[in-house]
Amino acid sequence: MPDTDGNLRKVAIAIAAHPDDIEFMMAGTLLLLNEVGWETHYLNISSGNCGSINLNSKQTETKRLEEAQKSATILGATFHPPFSRDLEIFYDSIHLRKLASVIRRVKPTIVLTHSPQDYMEDHTNTSRLAVTAAFSRGMPNFDVDPPLKPIRNEIALYHAMPHGLMDGMCQTVKPDLFINTTSVFKTKQQALAAHQSQKEWLDISQGMNSYLESMELISRKLGEAAGSTHAEGWRLHSHLGFSTCKIDPLSKVLKDSTE
């Protein structure tokens, strides 16, 4: 996993659709990477502008931006601003060029993103965008926005568990890799709690009761499958187009958390 200088880049980025998606399914892994000295980055593609029943779109964007920035600080991750809106995350060249520019700027070795099978299109489109943005990182003839030169580092891309641990057809999705997040669960919970505006919205729109309780139930269910109290689950994307051979830095770096 060398960069052009032959050095290991201990850099990871979590790419999600909406503010609070990282906290639900990815934040524990991000925290553990941070603990072992990795530089971590945090990006929600959407502003979350539809996530309120009381505030208008602009007010909601402002509120959710503040919450996401607070959460990223709690997670110890570099915050990257959103560039889209709820239900407007499309697999198109506009989104792809913007996300590819982020990838070139960050130069990650690990990319964490949504499952390619999930309950809503914003999530699945984000997954597709993250895959292609990483794939295009070294293509000099693919223009990115803002413009940046291509990079040559190898990438391992991991897909998180879908919401509800099942796809849109209610079929169970099982991880290939479990990360024991018990030691960082309280911080993960604190990061999710930073998204205070989402309690009422998720209670009403998705019947999730307390969003903190819903996250904990998923965390404990994955933990039970992993033989721990809390866990996050991941599936490793094919290495083709991303590295010269199969690499799994998440398992290697967080070895103590996978056993």
Confidence category of residue 54, pLDDT binned at 50, 70, 90:
confident
- Cis bond leading into 146, ω under 30°? yes
Q: Which residues contact 183 (CB under 8 A, 6 or more apart)?
A: 32, 257
CA distance 142 to 124: 23
Confidence category of residue 6, pLDDT binned at 50, 70, 90:
very low
Residue 4 has pLDDT above 60, yes or no: no
Region 179-208: mean pLDDT is 85
**Nearest one of 79, 103, 85 to 30, comparing CA atoms:** 79
C-alpha pair distances (Å), 228 with each of 31, 50, 182, 186, 223: 17, 36, 7, 15, 5
CA distance 31 to 75: 6
Domains by residue range for the chain, with CATH: 11-257 (3.40.50.10320)
Residue 40 contacts residue 75 (beta carbons within 8 Å): yes
Its pTM stands at: 0.94
Give pLDDT tens digits for 95-110: 999 999 999 999 999 9
